[in-house]
Amino acid sequence: MLLFVERFLLAILATVFVGLVVLNPLKFDWTQRITLGGCIVLGAYFVAHTALRMKETPKVEATEPSDVALRVRISALIAEAVKIQEQCQTVPNPYKTPWQAQPILAQAIFGWKSRVQEVLSMDLDPDSLQKWQGAILYTSPEDAKNPSIATYCTELGVKLETLREIAKKKAK
């Protein structure tokens, strides 16, 4: 398209200018010739300026398939975490329930975190993985010895919010 504008359209406009304004086959008076010449020159300027802008405008890269696949995987992991959070809500008295009493739930959370870590390690942007690793839950030393299932579920919430922020950044 750009080659057509530069090589063909501008040449045609120059020919029309010379043919109508300079040679004057239609026997226009000076006012008509000057006005027509001005219109042709302004039209040629518009076309040339547009062609120049098309050259200078950076082309938007199409989203790479790997980036799309990464966003899809992150969305699936977010949906999985929401389901695990729903399971956390069903635990009676979670702050008094040790994680050993809910090993399936604790294992689901641990497995989810591992899968997220794996997916984010494939991302070309290192900030995503750093942000994920920086999202930690601070607990008291007593809780660290024998954490309740609530600690695991709360950590899931912190990690989920971080993953949502990462997904939002990827969507932009």
Q: Would you say the pTM of this structure is higher than 0.75?
A: no
Question: Cβ neighbours of residue 74 under 8 Å, at least 6 residues apart?
Answer: 119, 163, 166, 167, 170
The DSSP element (H or E) to which 169 belongs, if any, is helix 149-171
Gap between the Cα atoms of 73 and 69, Å rounded: 6
Residue written as token pair 């989810």: 112
| Residue-by-residue pLDDT tens, the chain, 172 positions | 566 677 777 888 888 889 989 998 999 999 999 999 999 989 888 888 887 787 776 655 544 546 788 888 999 999 999 999 999 899 888 888 888 888 898 899 989 999 998 888 888 778 888 888 888 777 655 556 678 888 889 888 989 998 999 888 888 7
Q: Dihedral sign for Cα 132, 133, 136, 142, please.
A: positive
